[in-house]
């Protein structure tokens, strides 16, 4: 059990399958590095990274059931691609746990797959750190572009990831979550200001 984490969160992380737990540990290291690089609180980034995939092991059917049980709204896109629900379901679990986590941590967990317009810094750190896990190099062949952009600026890092992922989804004729498109637009508009 990790003494740096509140016991209820440590128990959730401990219960994950080995491969997923190893991914979470790598993401925590990357998130702490990004937080240090951008003068953010490393403890918040670490907590959010530790928590981000607490529901990632659930199969799609269970994610839909959990979302419905918890009152998480399920869109048509999410029903067709239920993996998109693992952030929202994980965030809902954490809200119900005994440890009162910082709302920025819960928000980071909720949106770590799609991004969200107006995401706080810890949310950008976790979204980017998750995608920079070396084990995801083949899933995201544009990983170095994201790494370079995130070194400069977290918003640029998220934008680079979203654009790379959107390109892949189009090439493969996969669904695109509307919040990802909206987040990308907002980041572009903010950049032009």
Q: Where does this chain bind Fe ion (CB under 5 A)?
A: 53, 56, 130
Least Å distance, CB 189 to Fe ion, is 26
Cα radius of gyration (the chain): 16
Choice between 56 and 155, CB closer to Fe ion: 56
Choice between 109 and 189, CB closer to Fe ion: 109
Decide: residue 104, CB within 10 A, 0-12 exposed, 13-18 middle, 19+ buried: middle
Task: Decide: 1 and 10 in contact? Cβ < 8 Å.
Answer: yes
Least Å distance, CB 191 to Fe ion, is 26
Least Å distance, CB 130 to Fe ion, is 4
Q: How many CB atoms lie within 10 A of CB 160?
A: 24
- How many Å is the maximal CA-CA distance in the chain? 46
Least Å distance, CB 180 to Fe ion, is 14
Choice between 22 and 100, CB closer to Fe ion: 22
Choice between 92 and 192, CB closer to Fe ion: 92
């Amino acid at each position: 059990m990790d003494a740096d984490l509140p016991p209820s969160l440590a128990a959730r992380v401990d219960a994950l399958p080995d491969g997923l737990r190893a991914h979470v540990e790598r993401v925590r290291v990357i998130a702490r590095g990004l937080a240090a690089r951008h003068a953010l609180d490393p403890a918040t980034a670490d907590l959010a990274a530790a928590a981000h995939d607490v529901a990632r092991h659930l199969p799609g059917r269970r994610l839909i059931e959990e979302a419905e049980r918890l009152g998480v709204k399920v869109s048509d896109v999410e029903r067709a691609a239920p993996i998109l629900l693992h952030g929202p379901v994980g965030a809902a679990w954490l809200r119900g746990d005994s440890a009162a986590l910082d709302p920025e941590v819960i928000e980071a967990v909720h949106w770590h797959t799609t991004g969200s317009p107006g995401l706080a810094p810890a949310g950008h750190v976790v979204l980017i750190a998750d995608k920079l896990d070396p084990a995801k190099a083949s899933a995201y062949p544009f990983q170095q572009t994201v790494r370079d952009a995130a070194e400069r600026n977290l918003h640029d890092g998220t934008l680079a990831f979203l654009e790379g992922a959107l390109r892949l989804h189009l090439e493969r004729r996969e669904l695109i979550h509307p919040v990802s498109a909206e987040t990308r637009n907002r980041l572009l508009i903010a950049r032009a200001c």
